[in-house]
A and B are shown apart, each in its own frame.
Chain A
Amino acid sequence: MRWIQDFISKKEKNKQKYYTEIGWIEVSPNAIASIASMATIQSYGVVGMAARNIADGISELLRLEEVNRGVDVEIDENGIKINLYIIVAYGVRIPEVAHNIMERVKWNLEKVTGLSVKEINVNVWGIRLQEEKEPFPWEEI
Chain B
Amino acid sequence: MMRVENIDSDLLIKLFEYATYELKKHREEIDLLNVFPVPDGDTGTNMLYTLQSTLDEIRKVKNKTIRTIAEAAIKGSLMGARGNSGVILSQIIRGFCEVMRENEYIDAKVWIKSWQNATRVAYRAVIKPTEGTILTVLREGVKEGVIASRETNDITLIMERMLNKAKESLANTPNLLPILKEAKVVDAGGQGLVWIWTGFYEVLRGIEIFIEKPMKEKEEKIEVKERPEKEVLESYVITYQYCTEFIINSSENTDFSGFKKWLESQGDSIVTSEAPGLLKIHIHTNHPGLVLEKALELGSLSRIKIDNMAEQHEERLKEEINRDSITPLKEIGFVAVSWGEGINEIFKGLGVDIIVNGGQTLNPSVEVLSNAVEKVRAKKVFVLPNNKNVILAAKQLENIHKERVVIILTKHVLEGIRALYEYNPRDTWEILKEKMEKSIEKIKIGEITRAVKDSSYNGLKIEEGDIIGLTNDEVKVAGKNIETVCLDLLSLLVDGDSEVISVFYGKDVSKEEAEKLVNKLNNQYPSLSIELLYGGQPYYFYYLGVE
- Interface residues of chain A, those whose CB is within 8 Å of chain B, are 41-48, 64, 78, 89, 91-93, 95-100, 103-104, 107, 116, 129-130, 132, 136, 138-139, 141
Contact = CB atoms under 8 A, between A and B. Distances in A.
A46 B127 contact: yes
A92 B90 CA distance: 8
B194 to A, nearest CB: 19
Q: Which 9 A-B pairs have the closest CB atoms?
A: A89-B125, A93-B81, A107-B38, A100-B84, A138-B146, A104-B37, A103-B38, A130-B124, A44-B126
B45 to A, nearest CB: 14
A93 B87 contact: yes
Given A130-B125, A138-B146, A95 B393 contact: yes
A104 B119 CA distance: 24
Interface of B: 37-40, 78-79, 81-84, 86-88, 90-91, 94, 109, 112-113, 116, 119-121, 123-128, 130, 139, 143, 146-147, 149-150, 363, 366, 389, 392-393, 396, 457, 474
Contacts of A138: 116, 143, 146-147
B119 A136 contact: yes
A94 to B, nearest CB: 10
B130 A97 contact: no
B37 A48 contact: no
A79 to B, nearest CB: 9
Nearest to B81: A93
B389 A42 contact: no
Contacts of A97: 87
A138 B150 CA distance: 12
B38 A41 contact: no
B87 A91 contact: no
A95 B84 contact: no
Given A96-B87, A100-B87, A136-B116, A91 B82 contact: no
Contact of A45 (B113, B125, B147, B150): B125
B237 to A, nearest CB: 37
Contacts of B128: 41-42
8 contacts: A41-B128, A42-B37, A42-B126, A44-B84, A95-B392, A95-B393, A141-B109, A141-B150
A64 B127 contact: yes
A24 B116 CA distance: 53
Given A41-B127, A41-B128, A136-B120, A92 B392 contact: no
B86 A96 contact: yes
B125 A92 contact: yes
B87 A95 contact: no
Given A92-B90, A100-B83, A107-B38, A141 B113 contact: yes
Contact of B83 (A89, A96, A130, A132): A96
Contact of B366 (A46, A95, A104): A95
Contacts of B392: 95, 98-99
B473 to A, nearest CB: 9
Most buried by B among A64, A91, A96: A96
Contacts of B116: 136, 138-139, 141
Given A91-B78, A104-B37, A46 B457 contact: no
B148 to A, nearest CB: 11
Most buried by B among A64, A100, A116: A100
Given A91-B94, A93-B81, A104-B37, A132 B127 contact: no
Contact of A47 (B82, B94, B125, B149): B125
Contact of A103 (B40, B120, B149): B40
Contacts of A103: 38, 40
A46 B126 contact: yes
Contacts of B396: 95
Contacts of A98: 392
Contacts of B389: 99
B38 A44 contact: no
Contacts of B123: 132
Contact of B127 (A47, A92, A93, A104): A47
A42 B130 contact: yes
Contacts of B91: 91-92
Contacts of A139: 116
Given A45-B125, A92-B81, 6 more contacts: A45-B126, A46-B127, A91-B125, A100-B87, A139-B116, A141-B109
B125 A141 contact: no
Nearest to B74: A91
Contacts of A95: 366, 392-393, 396
Nearest to B142: A138
A138 B112 CA distance: 11
Contact of A92 (B39, B87, B143, B366): B87
A136 B38 CA distance: 29
Contacts of A99: 363, 389, 392
A104 B130 CA distance: 14
A93 B78 contact: yes
A93 B37 contact: no
Contacts of A46: 126-127
A136 B122 CA distance: 13
A78 B94 CA distance: 42
